[in-house]
Homo-oligomer: A and B are copies of this chain.
């Protein structure tokens, strides 16, 4: 941690600050310039609240040099986290393809889509029973009935399931769901994250549409710090100034995060593009950037979907896209060998 002092700091206040830091086992190395003095703090600064120092009259600014997350940090955990769900392997060099409808709508719809995406090589099925919608007047999901249908899919079709949870109180209903998904709007719902930290279930943590990499990793840290090591990060498009698309897929996040953390990073080209015609291009871009997987919305009849119809692929288009992703993934993989 670096403390930048104001010009001509009061010597008593400065001594007070240094003693207080020393008392917390932090060594202080001053760098005195003609117009500026900087303090370099050495020790376990993760326990020091930056704001306490920033509030002092003699301080101009405080900058963190070390990352505030530990469990998620690749510096302390150099090896890739690899998560297994049934036959699926997430992280560590494989390509995971998650596909399915935005929401469970009916038994017929769910089974039709599940069979189709399984045949096209999907590793997991996604479908929400509980949908947090921005309008109180929109379809909110089938709820418990949706969970029941997901269980039936596992039995009959056999793909492990990913489904969205958005309140800590829903947790008991997800006992048989393989992977829990936290949506972008709940990335900083700490009551939910804390509850998930106490389970052992794999969690797909979507990035909030305007959250920084550090905030995202701090939300992962909430789950990891609770004891659950199975966190998968999912980039789903960020909010920018561009009005004509629903989101902007941040592919830069892929190489950046692969450097910062050992957790698997997947992308969701459906939420990002908001329009099915963009999905194949964005999915390919994500895999080409090094993502560990993709999550793609697929619907057997997109024009009648109860949510996200415009961004859903038909099973046929999905199959073609999945094939192309596997070929791009193998090119990158060969190169790294």
List the B side residues contacting A255 at CB < 8 Å: 273, 277-278, 281-282
Report B-chain residues with C-beta under 8 Å of the C-beta of A252: 237, 245, 247-249, 272-273, 278, 282
Interface residues on A, range: 35 or more
Binary interface encoding of chain A residues 52-67 relative to chain B, with 1 for a CB under 8 A from any of its CBs, else 0: 1011110000010110
CB distance from A113 to the nearest CB of B (A): 16
Kindly identify, within residues 253 to 269 of chain A, every residue whose CB is under 8 Å from any CB belonging to chain B.
Answer: 254-256, 259
Interface residue ranges of A22-45 to B (CB < 8 Å): 29-36, 38, 40-43
The one of B31, B278, B288, B327 in contact with A287, judged by C-beta atoms closer than 8 angstroms, is B288
A240 within 8 A of B: yes
Task: Say if the beta carbon of A145 comes within 8 Å of chain B.
Answer: no
**Does A7 lie within 8 Å of B51, measured CB to CB?**
no
Q: What is the distance, in angstroms, from A71's C-beta to the closest C-beta of chain B?
A: 9
Copies in the complex: 4
Closest to A63 in B: B63
Judged by a CB distance under 8 angstroms, whether A106 is at the interface is no
User: A305 an interface residue at 8 Å Cβ cutoff?
Assistant: yes
Bound Cα distance A8, B169 (Å): 47
- In Å, the complex CA distance between A23 and B18 comes to 32
A-B contact pairs, 7 of them (CB 8 A): A36-B65, A54-B310, A213-B242, A243-B243, A251-B285, A255-B278, A285-B289
